[in-house]
Amino acid sequence: MKTLVFTALLCAVLIGCTPSFKEPKVSLESYKIEDGFELQVIAAEPLLSAPVAMDFDDKGRIWVAEMPAFNDIEDRGEDKPTGAIRILEDLDGDGVMDHSKVFLDSLVMPRALALAYGGLLYAEPPNLWFVDIENDRPGQRTLVDSLYAPEGNPEYQPNGLVLNIDNWIYNAKLPYRYQFKNGKWLKEPTSVRGQWGITHDDFGRLYYNDNARQLLGDYVLPNRLVRNKFLEPNKGVNQLLTDDQRVYPLHAASVNRGYAPGVLDKDSLLKEVSAACGPVVYRGGTFPEGYEQNVFVCAPEGNLIKRNILTFHGDSISAKQAWQEKEFLASTDEGFRPVSLYNGPDGALYVVDMHIGVIQHYAFLSPYLKKEAQKKQLDTLKGYGRILRIKNKDTEPVKMLDFENLSGTELVKLLQDKNGWVRDLAQHYLIFKNKREAIPELQKLAMETNNPFSQIHGLYALQGLDALSFDFLKSVAQKSNPDVISHAIVLLEDFVSTENAKEAQKLFQEILAKNDRSIDLYLATTVGTWAKVAKEDFLPIIDSLFDTYKNNQIVTEALLSGMGDTAESLLTDLQKNSGFKDSDLQTRMLQSVERQMQDRPNRIFTKAAVAMDTRTKGAQLFRQICAACHGINGEGTDGVAPPLMDSEYVANSPERLGLIILHGLSGPVHVNGKRYEFNQAMPGLNGNPNLSDKDISDVITYVTNAFSRTPHWIKPEKIKKLRDKKSENGGEYSEPELQAYSR
């Protein structure tokens, strides 16, 4: 008896277990998954509540961030410390989570997490923290970035935290990347990407989306097009990969703008995505043929998950929906709110289901959806949360490895695993565990051309261990396939010097002779950098690439990026090329030189944003509600919102601006003579009971002061009158209506 009591007490102290495992019992009858797949609930309430992000540790346990304060249509409690990060465990080994313990609690809207460097990186606005893990308890905490996610709407604050193959951690909605090296956290500028969720493919390219565009991505590896601080690339990053935004829900779900023309079809079914988020490139290695490196996308407003097939064209990428008229996973359960997707250690696909009634933030909640939610009692659906697993029916469970105790040799072998999650973690462990004894085996792997993606992992493991050399990379580039050659070209930039210039020039000429579009793109990104140390050696290569790709705007950006701040010195030399005059490259180089003279760098290199008048409520409200789409500097977002800076809609009439803010705007619109299309109408704020007439007046005061040369002020009493001045259709105003409006 004493033994049983002692065992029970020990179990409770060490792991908080209970004698019986209470596993989730949730019906999936209303869910329809593609044939050949099995959908399972592996965690559910009360083990967790309102999950938004997760990660796996090296034991296969799930760490999940909870954000229960988000789901309140009346804005009650968003600033309260109700969030947490939990560890979900499967104690009886049947694949279903049966135990939950809190790692961190009393958090305010935690929104992202990643297990790395032996600890936990997590975002709790405005901060990005790293905390050591000691026996499943938080240890020393380090502030990585105090301005990671400053004040604003939680739908648009930075998130993601994905560790890429290049050993950098990337984010959605943030122009910085992070890495821990030599005992210090590094922070570097990078392109701003997406809205909620970010993922990478086997090559290391990044993919993301925003609410109205289900799949965006970069054609090139991160930061290859932003080394010239005075270049703002617009062809190689943040590209729309598919024009097809159609969704095929199983039922007439309630959506925020269901009242607007064209949003629903004749059967009241949502036609296009309006809350796309949480994409993932499937890299698990266990799905049927044709599924590897497909991109799955969440559409929580339609209670479904989409499947997209990628096609790689060397210098670009395109995507298409796998099917028309159906989805990979869809449900009639209006509480099913998939918000994030992940590859798992077992090769399965994991779904974070926030499982709430209303997915729309109160700041943008239309009166229509609020009424619908209350009628259906969706506003009462709170306190739930699920993690789902999607597996191939024909595969057996994969045993989880004990990464913590693997040798360097065993970790190198795992770089050849068919599961990208396993390869990524093995590479990471080789670096942060400093497995330098594995360097000879990594060098051998990086030269084995039968598995290109394993070669790439080997190269970046060697980079993380500071074990690369010019001669080694040269040898890899001479023997490998185009994907590996491209990475070798990138990594060779760490060895730019006059001593290596001649050998690099010979190598590049050899590579150029392969006449491969993907290799040439990466040559274009680097040749200008090498020209800084030996211009006469590399100018012929620049000329050759220019002649071959004169009308290719992506290669033009690549060439200009590689030139960096020496573009001006190369202008005279390139004039000798007969085709250079009036070319796109000449135009972009002149623009870059002019921006350099005016000290107008790419916004990601500008540390100070437009001055925010913190004394006014308008500045605060703009940042919370408007900046997510229009940009903190009023620069706008392609496909989402037009610019505010120097816009006639901002400068000319405060009443007209008030109509837009109150009632919304449907596109297209023209700003300074340029036509802007955006996939969804801007929602009006008239139905938001938390915004007073004075609040709207303050927003107009701030916007006109910050983004125009003619500041305006409008009385709250005028705002009250504008609330009743409806558009012709009773919804958003159109440009013709606004142009006809007179003061």
**CATH number assigned to the domain comprising residue 21:** 2.120.10.30
- Is residue 354, in this structure, part of any structural domain at all? yes
Query: How buried is 479 (Cβ within 10 angstroms: 0-12 exposed, 13-18 middle, 19+ buried)?
Result: middle
Task: Residue 240: name the closest of 325, 329, 320 by CA.
Answer: 320
Share of the chain above pLDDT 70, in %: 93
User: Taking each helix axis from N to C terminus, what angle separates 716-723 and 654-663, rounded to the nearest 10 degrees?
Assistant: 50
Which residues have CB under 8 Å from 572's CB, separation 6+?
Answer: none
Residues 240 and 120 in one domain: yes
Residues 568 and 630 in one domain: no
Residues 255 and 304: beta-carbon distance below 8 Å: no
Residues 665 and 711 in one domain: yes
Instruction: Provide the CA 385 distance to its chain's centre, in angstroms.
Output: 22
Q: Strands 664-666, 733-734: parallel, antiparallel or unpaired by DSSP? A: parallel
pLDDT on residue 72: 61
Residues 358 and 433 in one domain: no
What value does the mean pLDDT take over residues 657-676?
A: 83
**What is the rounded distance in angstroms from the CA atom of residue 727 to the CA atom of residue 148?**
39
DSSP assignments along 376-404, one per residue = HTGGG--S--EEEEEEETT-PPPPPP-GG
- Is residue 542, in this structure, part of any structural domain at all? yes
- Is residue 597, in this structure, part of any structural domain at all? no
Residues 572 and 525 in one domain: yes
Residues 386 and 432 in one domain: no
Instruction: Provide the CA 473 distance to its chain's centre, in angstroms.
Output: 30
End of a domain among 392, 425, 457? 392
| Total of domains in the chain | 4
Residues 105 and 236 in one domain: yes
Lowest mean pLDDT among 254-263, 276-285, 321-330, 704-713: 704-713
pLDDT on residue 21: 55
Whether the pLDDT of residue 470 is over 90: the answer is yes
* Tokens (6 digits) for 18: 């209970």
Task: Residue 209: name the closest of 122, 253, 294, 273 by CA.
Answer: 273
In three-state secondary structure terms, 458 is helix
- Is residue 637, in this structure, part of any structural domain at all? yes
Residues 660 and 538 in one domain: no
- Is residue 587, in this structure, part of any structural domain at all? no
Which residues have CB under 8 Å from 296's CB, separation 6+?
Answer: 279, 280, 282, 305, 306, 307, 308, 328, 341, 349
- What is the C-alpha end-to-end distance of the chain, expressed in Å? 87
Residues 309 and 177 in one domain: yes
**What is the rounded distance in angstroms from the CA atom of residue 611 to the CA atom of residue 677?**
28
Give the residue numbers spanning the domain of 111.
2-392
Which residue has better confidence, 410 or 665? 410
Residues 457 and 476 in one domain: no
**CATH number assigned to the domain comprising residue 622:** 1.10.760.10
Main-chain dihedrals φ then ψ at residue 690, nearest 5 degrees: -85, -5
* Tokens (6 digits) for 191: 């392109």
**What is the rounded distance in angstroms from the CA atom of residue 463 to the CA atom of residue 101?**
37
Report the chain's mean pLDDT, rounded to a whole number. 89
pLDDT tens digits for range 33-84: 999 999 999 999 999 999 999 999 999 999 999 999 876 666 567 788 999 9
- Residues 689/694/697/703 CA torsion (nearest 10 deg): -80
What value does the mean pLDDT take over residues 533-545?
A: 94
- Is residue 210, in this structure, part of any structural domain at all? yes
- Is residue 599, in this structure, part of any structural domain at all? no
pLDDT tens digits for range 418-464: 999 999 999 999 999 999 999 999 999 999 999 999 999 999 999 99
Whether the pLDDT of residue 18 is over 70: the answer is no
Task: Residue 743: name the closest of 714, 710, 704, 716 by CA.
Answer: 714
End of a domain among 371, 392, 413? 392
**What is the rounded distance in angstroms from the CA atom of residue 598 to the CA atom of residue 34?**
56
Main-chain dihedrals φ then ψ at residue 228, nearest 5 degrees: -90, 110
Torsion sign (Cα): 43, 49, 53, 54: negative
* Banded pLDDT at 283 (limits 50, 70, 90): very high
Task: Residue 96: name the closest of 106, 86, 88 by CA.
Answer: 88
In Å, what is the CA distance from 544 to each residue of 506, 532, 538, 590? 14, 18, 10, 20
Whether the pLDDT of residue 743 is over 80: the answer is no
Which residues have CB under 8 Å from 608's CB, separation 6+?
Answer: none
Residues 196 and 284 in one domain: yes
Task: Residue 327: name the closest of 34, 47, 550, 544 by CA.
Answer: 34
**CATH number assigned to the domain comprising residue 414:** 1.25.10
pLDDT on residue 10: 38
pLDDT tens digits for range 233-263: 999 999 999 999 999 999 999 888 788 888 8
Residues 122 and 102 in one domain: yes
End of a domain among 361, 392, 423? 392
- Is residue 377, in this structure, part of any structural domain at all? yes
Whether the pLDDT of residue 185 is over 90: the answer is yes
